[in-house]
Amino acid sequence: MFVATYHNVLDPDNRLATLGPFMVTDGPKVRELETKVVRTLGVRPILEVETLRGPDVFTFRDGEHEYPSEIPIGGSVNYEIVATAKNVPEGGRVGFVIRHTADGSEQTVVYFDRARGRVVIDRSRSTKTEGVFVGEDTGKFELFQIANSCKCQPTRAERLDLRIFVDNSVVEVYANGRFALSSRIYPSDDADRLSTYGTDGARFDSIDVYHNIKSVFPDRLSGSANLTSLPLNELAQSSAASTFRTASVIALSAASAGTLVSAL
């Protein structure tokens, strides 16, 4: 964790200080606009996670490739997604459908909802196993409004930067260096597909998917991704599905944990 600093942030109603653990101070004027410097507790995966990437990678760049619907990952259930969206419409959602079946009957949707100002892990169709809690995991996250020096666009929304880790049954989401959310899902073995997701024209400008991620514990026997054969009282205790989870930082939503303001 670290102190994340953001410059030229617009906050005319002085509401940022009420949203979470933000330290807000006056910044310089940009084209006569009053700006703020915002500091908060930052959170991101440790750099060592990147050493687990192998040669298998899917890459998309806007203007260079056709926008993907389904992303070819060869049935991998261990992967890292790095994606950016420069212009998310005010009412739009953008994200990914992970661990889904060919017919979509089983799926988990991970997305940023700009209208609600939240990152969401929708688990409502994440498993076919009865008795498993499939409630929505979500946390407060808003894009800052930034003052531009350019006359053509005096203000703009902050770019959305997402990193998503899917590790069999573990899902971790990081956004813009200041938000993290983790969850658990219990999909079937054939829920091994990945697709993009967007509403109101929302889409990513760049996507990198590193699939078939290496294991932190290469000498350990790999367990099945399908935990549905386990009794429910063993599901929460099972660690067989985790390949590289211990290499990332604790998933903590710095954007919503108001008690952390004292750490700044």
> Residue with structure tokens 């940023």?
112
Asked if the structure places residue 13 within a domain, the reply is no
* Contact (CB, 8 A) for 169 and 186: yes
Indicate whether 258 belongs to any domain: no
Residue-wise pLDDT tens digits, 160-208: 999 999 999 999 999 999 999 999 999 999 999 999 999 999 999 999 9
In a domain, 236, yes or no: yes
Residue 8 lies in a domain: no
Please report whether residue 7 resides in a domain: no
Residue 23 domain-assigned (yes or no): no
Whether pTM > 0.85 for this model: the answer is no
Q: Which of 255, 6, 5, 252 is nearest to 144 (CA)?
A: 6
Domain of residue 92, CATH code: 2.60.120.560
- Residues contacting residue 223 through CB under 8 Å, at least 6 positions apart: 168, 238, 240, 241
Task: Please count the structural domains in the chain.
Answer: 1
Structural domain of 226: 47-248
Render pLDDT for 64-111 as a digit per residue (tens, 0 to 9): 999 999 999 999 999 999 999 999 999 999 999 999 999 999 999 999
- Does residue 157 belong to any structural domain of this protein? yes
Question: Is residue 56 situated within a structural domain?
Answer: yes
Query: What pLDDT band is residue 221 in, cutting at 50, 70 and 90?
Result: low
